[in-house]
Structure 1
Amino acid sequence: MKSISKADLQHDIESIAKIPIISNILNAVCRITGMGFSAVARVTDLHWIACATNDEIGFGLGPGDELKLETTICHEIRQHRNAVVIDHVSEDSDWKNHHTPKIYGLESYISVPIILSNGDFFGTLCAIDPNPANIKQKHILDTFHLFAELIATHLNVVDDLSVAEAKMQEQAKEAELREQFIAMLGHDLRNPVTAISNAVELQLRGKMDERNLRLAKIIQDATLRTRGLIDNILDFASGKLGSGIKLDFNNPADLETTLKQVITEFRLASPEVPIALKIAIDDAVKADHKRIAQLFSNLLGNAISHGTKGKPVEVEAKSSKHTGLEISVTNVGEPIDELTLKHLFKPFSRGKIRPGQEGLGLGLFIASEIAKAHHGAIEVRSSDSKIRFTFKIPHHST
């Protein structure tokens, strides 16, 4: 049998101390029995330790004090798990020669086991007195059993709370480490991609033959998609840790300029897809322009990837005091079936894909999370020939 450590015993004493009604129970035990000492004892295969006491006769035991296990009746109760009630030791043939009453000068004794919900024996609720007492009564024993069950229930709750608190602390530490990892990962991944992107842009400004120009544009397209994937992965990981999409309203450029930069990147990366643009942003909308650009990039990339090859993608962005901000992206393509529509904004949901459309299926999910962070939403309409995604946020909504 595994022995209980000192740390575990101290934990049990502290657990009893956390139960606010213990002192009331011990006081009530003395009142209903007329006895002068009551206690909650932790009883193991090696120890008898007082967890809480009510001493009105100067017995001399307080919380944390220990009796030699073999000198107690509780040692026997731990083995048979039955209550022991003695009115008058000297006149009780079963107990008058027992060593415990002789050692401690007892004439009356009552003790009931405290059994936890998992069946483990915790200890006893007991009372003693040097004088006889009329305690062999059903209502007294029933009350003791009720108190013992109440103590066991509270111990289970205290233990569950301790486990939950320890688990929360562990999760908080893990979350902090993972947040640090995400931050380092983002930095280490973005740096080489940015270097590749800058290098290929410099190449494109120079003179190149048709073959090298085509290769440079392939690299440029790959870096654009890689940047988007990195952003989506990091945002997804961060969101799953509970921090969600964070917004920063200190924008270095106006929204129209930011959106046009996104379109320029896609026109360079996918020159075979015409992008028709209509912008009428005539009112300042409180928004994180970098996040709006990320949302817009995900919608535009989705439209180009899933649209009919060579067919134009239509982009319209407008804002006003009455309608707020509205950005729509429309492409020609196969209609989206109802089942796919239901799961379109869930992570890793991609619907039907063609060769060259590979991805993690996080783009639309991240876009919807950015919309929610702005107290907005993304709507999708799919007809026989066109698919339209519309992002809306109300005026000064955040």
Structure 2
Amino acid sequence: MPLGATQALTYHPGTLTPALNPAAPAAPAALVDTEEAIARDVAAVGRISAVPSLLKIICQNTGMGFAAVARVTDGTWTACAVEDTIQFGLLPGGQLKVETTLCMESRAARLPVVIDHASTDPAYRDHHTPRLYNIQSYISVPIVYTNGEYFGNLCAIDPRPANVSDPRTVAMFTAFADLIARQLENEDRQERAEVALQSERATAELREQFIAVLGHDLRNPLSAVGAAAELLIRRHDAPDLVKLGTRLKSSTRRMSGLIDDVLDFARVRLGSGMGLAIRETDFLASGLKDVVDEARASNPHLDIREDLSISGVVRCDPPRIQQVLSNLIGNAVTHGGPDDPIVVRAVLEDDRLVLSVSNGGQPIPPDDLPKIFQPYWRPANSKPGGGLGLGLYICAEIVGAHGGTLEVTSSAAEGTRFVAILPNG
């Protein structure tokens, strides 16, 4: 006789008797009975490697010939995993009419249904389920998530009687059902995490593609602005226009550097890598001096010093090394003390190019040191308009692409010093 869903049951071996129980859990939220949802849950159970072994253990310990993990809702009964030695004929994904099963009653009661010998059991000898499926022994235990949602049942049947009401057997089924529920929850959490990760990656890739396209498309209008700045600088008869052109050219140069960083970042993140054109050069020192002179021209109020002791051939990508120096000096200009000198050094020693930039001012907090080469990271005290937080990341990528290392030390006594060490070969 079907039991009302509003009743809770008190379980006694061999029978199932209605009894009021105010502590019974609330009715579970119904699972969705779409083909997609059912297939997903069947696959989730199939991914639990322990389930086949659990079903074998159940059959071996009880002597029953059929055991299954079933997904049970108000409208469907679906086998998710099966151990069948009696040719019951049900495979994973196979379904029974839920109203013909005793799992429906177990679901309504949130308690096990246990039958040792159906034809002699006073509660089930006239029940339609044992007669319909020609079974004598039966046990079904709910599989319930920790949030109270009902998934289904762990059940076993056999055409012969069996002593399944033994408390140890019921305890085994209950423990296995709890284990399956926890594993399904883990599967769900992992699936959600993977979906979220894929979504985050897709969003990040789209963002980086957008940044790359935007940076590329800004080249042409920026070139026009730079050309206008050059024309203004040539107006020697109008000092105000020359001053405006100089400021405009400086801003254009800064914008060009930001675009370079953005495009380099996009190339690295989208898999193209940091492009290098390695060659031998005798003129790296003069190229680096150009960078220092440009920084002096843009920051006449600062004391920028250089010691460029590079004598001999250097094998590198000169424009990229200039880019590293420009970004490191830009970082020193932004974060260094206004009254402290910025010192640039470059030297060839032991077949290595050692390039360093030092500045005074407030030291970098120790907790921030591991983060400063991360993209988009900026210290909490950064001023608005201080850049995108890509400069040091790009420096590290360029140095790394050369097979070198970029390190930083910072203290109140010694100041902040970035050192790039690149193999010369």
Alignment of 1:393 with 2:418, yes or no, is no
1:241-289 Cα shifts (integer Å, max 9, x gaps):
9679953331477533432332343354455667554322135556554
- Alpha carbons of structure 1 residues 284 and 243: separation in structure 2 relative to 1, 3 Å: farther
Deviation at 1:183, TM superposition (A): 0.5
What are the equivalent positions in structure 2 for 1:1-398 lying under 5 Å apart? 2=30, 4=32, 5-205=34-234, 207-231=236-260, 247-251=274-278, 255-270=284-299, 276-283=305-312, 288-302=317-331, 308=338, 314-321=343-350, 324-328=353-357, 336-338=361-363, 343=368, 346=372, 347-349=377-379, 359-360=386-387, 362=389, 365-366=392-393, 369=396, 373=400, 374-380=404-410, 389-396=417-424
The two structures have a TM-score, normalised by structure 1, of: 0.82
- Alpha carbons of structure 1 residues 213 and 127: separation in structure 2 relative to 1, 3 Å: same
SS in 1 for 2:423: coil
Output the CA distance in 2 between the equivalents of 1:244 and 1:377. Answer: 24
1:111-168 Cα shifts (integer Å, max 9, x gaps):
1111123321111111111221122212211221122122222212222222222222
Deviation at 1:393, TM superposition (A): 1.2
Output the CA distance in 1 between the equivalents of 2:331 and 2:84. Answer: 77
For structure 1, the residue ranges without an aligned partner over 5 or more in a row are none
- Alpha carbons of structure 1 residues 336 and 139: separation in structure 2 relative to 1, 3 Å: same
- Alpha carbons of structure 1 residues 84 and 303: separation in structure 2 relative to 1, 3 Å: closer
Output the CA distance in 2 between the equivalents of 1:32 and 1:350. Answer: 63
Greater alpha carbon shift after TM alignment, 281-290 vs 338-347: 338-347
Output the CA distance in 1 between the equivalents of 2:163 and 2:338. Answer: 94
Output the CA distance in 2 between the equivalents of 1:314 and 1:81. Answer: 75
- Alpha carbons of structure 1 residues 17 and 315: separation in structure 2 relative to 1, 3 Å: closer
Kindly indicate whether the alpha-carbon contact (under 8 Å) linking 1:368 and 1:377 is maintained by their aligned counterparts in 2: no
Output the CA distance in 1 between the equivalents of 2:207 and 2:187. Answer: 30
- Alpha carbons of structure 1 residues 200 and 194: separation in structure 2 relative to 1, 3 Å: same
- Alpha carbons of structure 1 residues 65 and 287: separation in structure 2 relative to 1, 3 Å: same
Tell me the amino acid that sits aligned with residue 126 of structure 2.
Answer: N
Deviation at 1:87, TM superposition (A): 0.9
- Alpha carbons of structure 1 residues 285 and 11: separation in structure 2 relative to 1, 3 Å: farther
Greater alpha carbon shift after TM alignment, 111-120 vs 343-352: 343-352
Output the CA distance in 1 between the equivalents of 2:418 and 2:293. Answer: 20
For structure 2, the residue ranges without an aligned partner over 5 or more in a row are 1-28
Aligned residue pairs: how many?
Answer: 385
SS in 2 for 1:328: strand
Kindly indicate whether the alpha-carbon contact (under 8 Å) linking 1:245 and 1:369 is maintained by their aligned counterparts in 2: no
SS in 2 for 1:19: coil
- Alpha carbons of structure 1 residues 372 and 378: separation in structure 2 relative to 1, 3 Å: farther
Q: After the TM superposition, which parts of structure 1 deviate over 6 Å for at least 4 consecutive aligned residues?
A: 241-245, 339-342
SS in 1 for 2:254: helix
- Alpha carbons of structure 1 residues 165 and 396: separation in structure 2 relative to 1, 3 Å: farther
Deviation at 1:86, TM superposition (A): 0.9
Output the CA distance in 1 between the equivalents of 2:150 and 2:106. Answer: 10
Deviation at 1:292, TM superposition (A): 3.2
Output the CA distance in 2 between the equivalents of 1:12 and 1:291. Answer: 54
1:372-393 Cα shifts (integer Å, max 9, x gaps):
744121345666xx96744331
The two structures have a TM-score, normalised by structure 2, of: 0.77
